[in-house]
Amino acid sequence: MRQVRKVLIIDDDEDDRELFCEAVGQVSKDIDCFHATDGEEALAFLSSSDGNLPDYIFLDLNMPRLNGKECLVEIKKRHSIKDIPVVIYSTSNSRRDKEETKLLGAANFLHKPNEFNILIRELALILS
């Protein structure tokens, strides 16, 4: 029996979510991709997942209601999910955002690439 991994993408942009999940599918057929549209929805999903937690969380920074940094802080406060690697997935390429999110507990920072093949390559490196 094959091991299926799970990835949660938290992003308010529908096109970015769809592209991301399509790229994940290109990386491996053994990875299920779930999504949330903002930090509040993500925390509700993670709280109600009954142990069916993702192996990785990819988190956009600029979202309504609860932005990425606020969501990251909340994830790291919660015992049941604090050890899930969180990768910031953002259009920001700011050194300050990279430094702040690392201090808040992010495992990695992935700048949203302009090319689909680059996204696949970057995801393959992170998810391998």
Strand order in the sheet with 86-90: 31-36, 5-10, 56-59, 86-90, 108-111
Question: What are 38-52's pLDDT values in tens digits?
Answer: 999 999 999 887 778
pTM to 2 decimals? 0.94
User: Which domains are present in the chain?
Assistant: 5-127 (3.40.50.2300)
* Number of other residues whose CB lies within 10 A of the CB of residue 54: 23
Strand ranges, E, within 17-90 = 31-36, 56-59, 86-90
Question: What are 61-107's pLDDT values in tens digits?
Answer: 999 889 999 999 999 999 989 999 999 999 999 999 999 999 999 99
Q: Is the confidence at residue 1, as pLDDT, over 60?
A: no
Angle at 35 between CA 72 and CA 126, to 5 degrees: 65
What percentage of the chain has pLDDT greater than the value 70? Answer: 98
What's the N-to-C CA distance of the chain in angstroms? 19
Q: Which amino acid is it at 12?
A: D
